[in-house]
Structure 1
Amino acid sequence: MHFSRCLHRNTVMSQSATQILHGNAVFTNKLYQILARKPGNVFLSPFSLHAVLAMLYQSAQGETVEILKNVLELPDAKATAEAYKWLLDNLKTIENLILHIANKIYVKRNEEFLEEFEACVREYFYSELEALDFGDKAAAVAKLNEWVAHKTSNKIKEIVREDLINEETALFLLNVVYFKANWEEKFHENDTKVEPFYCNDGETVDVQMMKGRKKGLYKYDGELQAEVLDLPYKGKRIRMVIILPTEKNGIQNLEAKLATRSLIEVIDDNMYEIKAYLSLPKFKFEMSMDLNDILHEMGLEIIFDDEKANFLKMLKTGDNLCVGDVFQKAYIDVNEEGSEAAAVTAVRVRKAKKAFCEEVVNFVVDHPAIFLIVEGTGENSNVLFCGRLYCPKY
């Protein structure tokens, strides 16, 4: 028994779009498993990283195509582009909240894109393209970061550093996801109390615990030994999903079990409507991540390889390119009104050195848990953000 999530889709989802969303869900789980090895809070936008790599995929040839296709679980390049256009158009139809997704490519002045690549990223990914003088490092960095700050409502003000620009730098691919929404049912500030939160290392910290009776979807997952609560934002197209281990020190066991489960099954299957008396800590933090090593581990070594990377379908010069750096900054603020989240993924591409129900549940998030911000439902679920709440701060 599900309450409506108001999935107003303006066209029937294509098989390719479904494949993209499935691939993003698998990609999300793999990314999270690697990032979760280190203690502490985790937060990222898998959609942002997936989208920017999908743009890069449009310029790939040979073995590089096959590896990107397999790791990201993509259809062919044309179908991927068409699917992303559908997904981006669909996200624009969401009402009652703010959701901005933007792509931009800054290319070294005097470099020209191949017409086919430029037309593809403009038409299907709605990407802006702009030439930039990388010789003036300070001005170039200021320009890049100014765009990022503007697109994230000043929540992320700096993503590119001067040391990332050198003679080999050919271009930067940027993706921004910015989200701001109120809860379907807000928490009352007067109900927020200072209460203990039990961190996984045995430490207890005082947090601002929001409280209230909320309608949502719920289940207990016996295999994971965890409760799952789906909490809608206004309009019900986007929701926060909280996966809370039963044991206060159960986060590591939960993460290990999630590695072998379908994320979509966990957050969507067998959920039923409840009223929960929810205790949820306010939290706010920012993370910066260098993703090179993680993408190597996931099987994308080839895109960084001077000899094996093949992105010859991007620039007119015929110079082969490879990826120099992939990094992301992400920000989240969860409070009584709702949530605000932003993420920026940047890919520095350089010239290669060698050319080539009414049940009431007491749901108390007073120990580490996993959370996701998801658009859509079932096989059409689109994981926009995910994270681990390890030790909340506000």
Structure 2
Amino acid sequence: MKITTGLFCLLVFTACNWSEDEEIDHTANIRPLQVQEQEMVLSSSQFAFDLFHELQKKEDVNQFFSPYSVHQALAMAMNGNEDEIEAEFMRVLRFEGMELEEANQAAKSLTNYLLELDPKVRLSIANAIWYKLGFELNQEFAEDLRDSFSAEIASLDMSNPQSKDIINQWIENNTNGMIKDMLDAVSPDAAMYLVNAIYFKADWKYRFDADHTKKAPFYTASGSEMTVDMMELSSPAGLRYYADGALEYLEIPYSTGQYTMGVIIDKDFELDNKMEAFTLEDLEHFRANADTTNFFLKMPKFKMGYRIDNLKEQLQNLGLVKPFLPSPINFSKLFVNPTAPMAISRVIHEAVIEVNEEGTEAAAATVVEIELTSAGPSQPRVFSLDKPFVFFIQENSSGSILFAGKLGDPSMLN
């Protein structure tokens, strides 16, 4: 694994217990999470770390993805199954102990909470389903997805090559133009496409002055040095900070402070080894023990795009095996009339993030393709992100992970 040659980015919606003397901007619509919402936060966050560790095996130098988007798309696919196939989805998505209806309602409630939380943060989470023209959709399945995921549903001529433009335009519209032409083709054998799109845009609470951005060195894990556009705060800011040996954790707040980018950097350039065993519990420990410290923050300005053509291998390694194998019991709740055996053929994922002096803009989309088959405060310190580091964008009232990625060699970015 080569995390030290990349920046790991995780957009997280994370629980945090604030102390009484910490200042919160009450323009945010904060309320206590319901029990089901807390369970959903835990499920999606555990899945996020499961998927993150699987993707690190790809050893990509730079990486960025949205486990929250993948989780939403697969949760919709889960609703088309029953019995042992549904149970397999439940285990992989970390819904153990929950009934399907409980999982659906938790997803609905948490998504609504996220969307309504911070009026100064632009966040959209959208879902859509396209099914094969001429097939009769199971109305119970359709109503469940409309109610729990606000899914848009329509039939689609899978034999028409231009049908991909309909899906691609929907993705582009729901990612504010950040993701274009994601789907290369619509398979004539496709029975259904389940699609999630997520978009996030927020300004920093403490703005970087563009006049202070200058060329500065960034050091990779291999010891090479390159020049990047390094942003710098013009005055010290009180940022939550925690250190565990050579690992340092810092939170950089957005707008009202409900969302933050959490950064992990290793002074010994051993981030790859240490992140192999890094868990959700470790992140929670870092956040719970962080204290406010004054920093002159320096961080690189960057834009990153990342695409995974098929998450099949990673999801199978996590235990989602049967839905990828053609079987009459797969997706038995999708349609009214019997069909040929079905299986997931592709789970495509694409994500983009841009970090600049004003703030952060990020988007991601996930496409699940199901095919019919014939087979079956102190003195200011300087905190300079001039070497490989991990970062998290976090909301401070809950705990759902929305995006993840890594950056360690800015010279390899487009």
Cα shift readout 1:289-329 (whole Å, capped 9, x = no counterpart): 12111111111111101137621111112324321100101
User: Aligned match of 2:406 in 375, 388, 392?
Assistant: 388
- Indicate yes or no: 2:120 matched with 1:99: no
Change in Cα spacing, 1:312 to 1:323, as seen in structure 2 (3 Å) is: same
Deviation of the 1:267 alpha carbon: 4.7
Distance in 1 separating the partners of 2:363 and 2:164: 20
**2:160 aligned with 1:136, yes or no?**
yes
Equivalent of 2:349 in 319, 322, 328:
328
Aligned length: 384
1:269 counterpart residue number: 288
Partner deviation per Cα, 1:66-114 (whole Å, 9 max, x = no partner):
1111111112210111011101111221211211110000111112221
Q: Secondary structure at the match of 1:36?
A: helix
The residue identity in structure 2 corresponding to 1:372 is F
Q: CA deviation at 1:12?
A: 4.3
**How far apart in 2 are the matches of 1:267 and 1:128?**
39
How has the CA–CA distance of structure 1 residues 26 and 361 changed in structure 2, closer, same or farther, with 3 Å as cutoff?
Answer: farther
Structure-2 residue corresponding to 1:358: 378
Matched, 1:82 2:93: no
Of the candidates 142, 149, 155, which is equivalent to residue 118 of structure 1? 142
TM-score, normalised by the number of residues in structure 2: 0.88
Distance 2:125 2:272 in 1: 33
2:395 partner amino acid: E
Partner of 1:221: 244
Cα distance in 2 for residues equivalent to 1:295 and 1:257: 19
Q: Deviations over 1:125-167 (max 9, x none)?
A: 0010011111111x201111111111111111021112x512x
Q: Distance in 1 between matches of 2:265 and 2:361?
A: 21
SS at structure 2 position matched to 1:387: strand
- Higher relative contact order, structure no. (Cα contacts within 8 Å, ≥ 6 residues apart): 2
Q: How far did residue 354 of structure 1 move? A: 4.5
User: Where in structure 2 are the equivalents of 1:149-160 lying within 5 Å?
Assistant: 149-160=172-183
Match of 1:69 among 79, 90, 97: 90
Does the aligned pair in 1 maintain the 2:28–2:119 contact within 8 Å? Answer: no
* Alpha-carbon contact 1:331-1:343 (below 8 Å) kept: yes
Normalised by the size of structure 1, how large is the TM-score?
A: 0.92
2:228 is the counterpart of 1:204: no
Is 1:232 the counterpart of 2:253? The answer is yes
Q: Distance in 2 between matches of 1:4 and 1:264?
A: 21
Identity %: 28
2:45 aligned partner: 25
Pick one of 385, 389, 398 that aligns with 1:369.
389
AA paired with 2:157? D
Report deviation, 1:31.
Answer: 1.4
Report how far residue 202 of structure 1 moved. 2.2
Q: SS of the counterpart of 1:158?
A: coil
Matched, 1:184 2:208: no
Structure 1 unaligned blocks of 5 or more: none
**What secondary structure sits across from 1:347 in the alignment?**
strand
Given that residues 215 and 231 in structure 1 are in contact (C-alpha distance below 8 angstroms), is that contact kept between their aligned partners in structure 2?
Answer: no
How far apart, CA to CA, are the structure 2 residues paired with 1:103 and 1:359? 47
Task: Name the stretch that deviates more: 122-131 or 15-24.
Answer: 15-24
CA shift digits 1:372-393 (9 cap, x unpaired): 222234xx21211122121224
One-letter identity of the residue aligned with 1:18 = Q
Q: Which residue of 2 aligns with 1:40?
A: 61
Q: CA deviation at 1:34?
A: 2.0
1-side partners of 2:375 and 2:52: how far apart? 34
Matching residue within 280, 285, 290 for 2:299: 280
Matches of 1:55 and 1:374 in 2, distance apart? 25
Counterpart residue identity of residue 362, structure 1: V
Structure 2 unmatched runs, 5+: 1-18
Match of 1:172 among 187, 193, 211: 193
Maintained 8 Å contact 1:374/1:385? no
Question: RMSD in angstroms over aligned alpha carbons?
Answer: 1.9
**Whole-angstrom distance in 2 between the partners of 1:7 and 1:73:** 33
| SS of residue in 1 equivalent to 2:277 | helix
Among 292, 316, 320, which residue is 2:336 paired with? 316
Is the Cα–Cα contact under 8 Å of residues 345 and 370 in structure 2 kept in the other structure?
yes
Change (3 A) 1:11 1:219: closer
CA shift, 1:16, in A, is: 2.2
Judged with a 3 Å threshold, the aligned counterparts in structure 2 of structure 1 residues 308 and 108 are, in CA distance, closer, same or farther, namely: closer
Secondary structure of 1:123's counterpart equals helix
Determine the C-alpha separation between the residues in 1 that align with 2:30 and 2:206. 27
- Output one character per residue of 1:212-233: Cα deviation in whole Å (capped at 9) or x when no partner: 13332111123xx311111111
Offset, 1:266: 4.2
